[in-house]
Amino acid sequence: MTTTRSTTALGVVVASFALLAGCAGAPAAAPVAQQEQAVASVALPAATVCDDANESTTSYTPGPGGASVQAIRDRGALHVGVSADTLLMGSRNPLTGQIEGFDIDMLNAVSAAIFGDARPLQFRVITSAQRLEVLENHEVDLVARTFTMNCERWETIAFSAEYLTAGQKVLVTRDSDAQSIEALEALGDQRVCAPEGTTTLERLQETYPGVEAVPAPTHTGCLVLFQQGKVQAITGDDTILAGFVAQDPYAKVVGEAFSAEPYGIGVAADQVDLVQFVNGVLDQAKADGTWAASYDRWLGALGPAPAPPVSVYGRVDSP
C-alpha cells in the first residue's frame, strides 16, 4: 500500500485544512490520518454526522443481521447498485456478458454469506450520480461503486467499514510531460474530466481552478472524451485510472495520489442491521485472504496487495 503511506503526510495537511473547509469537500483525507495518526483524529471537526465518535470511516460494529437481512433472504436475491463500465472495479465483460470486478467480488461475498450459497446478484447498473438516490429510495440493498465514504454522504445513507483505500490521481497522454495536476494548471488552457456527482469533480472544481473541469456521466464517459481529444487529462481514483490504462496504451497515470478515497459499501441509513452484517462479511474477507486474492486479481497493476484497510467501528447514531 505504498500509495497510501506516501500520502499520509499530505493527508494530515489536508485534514487540518478540512477544519477550515468544513465537512463537505475535503473529508476524504481524514480517514487515513485517523487510522495511522491518532493525533489527527482528535482534531477533526464536529459536524452533525462526523464528530469525535464518528469519523467518515467509522461504521457500525459487526452483527448477525436482523430484519433487513431476513427480508433479503426471503426475497431470494441481493439487489445491488453497481457500475458496468469501470474496468477492474465493476464492468461488464463484453466476451461473457458478466459484470465483474473488485466491487463485485465484495458484493458476492455478502450475497454468499446471506444465502449460504453462491447465487447471482440482482444488478442495477447506476451512474455515480445515482448512488445516493437508489439507496435513499430503497431501490437496491447495497451500492458498491467506487463509493467514497464522507461526512456529507453519511447524512443521508450509511456505509460499511472501509474495504479499499484509493487515491485520486491524474491520467494524461503517454507523451505528456505533466507530472501532476498542478503542472496541468501551469500549462494553462487544460481541460480535465471527472464524472458528475463524485467527490473527484468537487475537488477538481474547488481546489484546482487553473484547469477547466469537464463533467461526464460516468468515468468511462471521461475516457471517451480523452480518446477523442476533447479533454487533455482525466482525474479519478487510481483504481479507476488503472482500468483506463488497461484499455488505452496511450494513457499513463502520473504523480502521487493527492487525496485518499476510502471506499465503503453504501447501505440505506435505516438498515443498520444490514450494515453490521456486511461489516462481518468484510472482516471475514480481509482476514481469510479472500480480500487479498481479489485485490491481486483485479488491482495487481497497482502493485502487490497491501494490508487491507483497518475497519473502524463504534459509530453512535446522532439523536
Partner 1 sequence: MTQTIAPPTASQAPVTVVHPANPVHRTGLRGALSRTPGRLRVAGVVSVIAAAAVGVIGWTTGLAQSQALSDADADTRQLVGIQDVRNDLVVADATATNAFLVGGLEPPQQRARYDEAVASAANGLAQLAGSNAADAELLGEATAGLTTYTGLVEQARANNRQGFPVGAAYLDQASAVLRTDVLPQLDELVQTNSDRVDASFDSVGSVPWLLTLGILALAALVVVQVWLAKRTHRRLNAGLFWATVLALAASILGAVVLGSAAAKAGDARNGPYDATVSVSQAYSLANDAKSQESFTLIKRGSGAAYEEQFVLNTDEASELLARPTVDPALSPLLDDWVASHQEIRALDDAGKWDEAVALAISEEPGAPNDVFETFSTAASSSLEASAAQTHDALAGSGGSSVLIGWLMLVVGLLAAVLSWRGISKRVEEYR
Residue 87 near partner 1 by CB under 8 A = yes
Query: Closest separation between CB of residue 211 and partner 1, Å?
Result: 22
Query: Closest separation between CB of residue 185 and partner 1, Å?
Result: 27
Among 38, 64, 74, 96, the residue binding partner 1 under the rule CB under 8 A is 96
Pairing relation of β-strands 142-143 and 233-237? Answer: unpaired
Nearer to partner 1, 123 or 154 (CB): 123
* Contact track, partner 1, 66-85, x by CB under 8 A: -----------x---x--xx
Site for partner 1 in 208-247 (CB under 8 A): 218, 220-221, 223-224, 227, 244, 246-247
Nearer to partner 1, 156 or 227 (CB): 227
Residue 249 near partner 1 by CB under 8 A = no
Contact 171, 244 (CB under 8 A): yes
Q: Which set of grid coordinates corresponds to residue 121? A: 446478484
Pairing relation of β-strands 312-313 and 58-59? Answer: parallel
Site for partner 1 in 147-166 (CB under 8 A): none
Query: What gap in Å lies between CA 13 and CA 29, rounded to an integer?
Result: 9
Query: Closest separation between CB of residue 16 and partner 1, Å?
Result: 39
CB atoms within 10 A of CB 1: 15
Query: Closest separation between CB of residue 95 and partner 1, Å?
Result: 5
Nearer to partner 1, 105 or 152 (CB): 105
Query: Closest separation between CB of residue 124 and partner 1, Å?
Result: 3
How many chain residues touch partner 1 (CB under 8 A)?
Answer: 32
Residue 91 near partner 1 by CB under 8 A = yes
Relative orientation angle of helices 102-115 and 290-299, to the nearest 10 degrees: 150
Query: Closest separation between CB of residue 237 and partner 1, Å?
Result: 16
Nearer to partner 1, 32 or 87 (CB): 87
Nearer to partner 1, 124 or 313 (CB): 124
Residue 95 near partner 1 by CB under 8 A = yes
Site for partner 1 in 118-147 (CB under 8 A): 120, 122-127, 130
In the complex, the residues that contact partner 1 under the rule CB under 8 A are: 77, 81, 84-87, 91-97, 99, 120, 122-127, 130, 218, 220-221, 223-224, 227, 244, 246-248
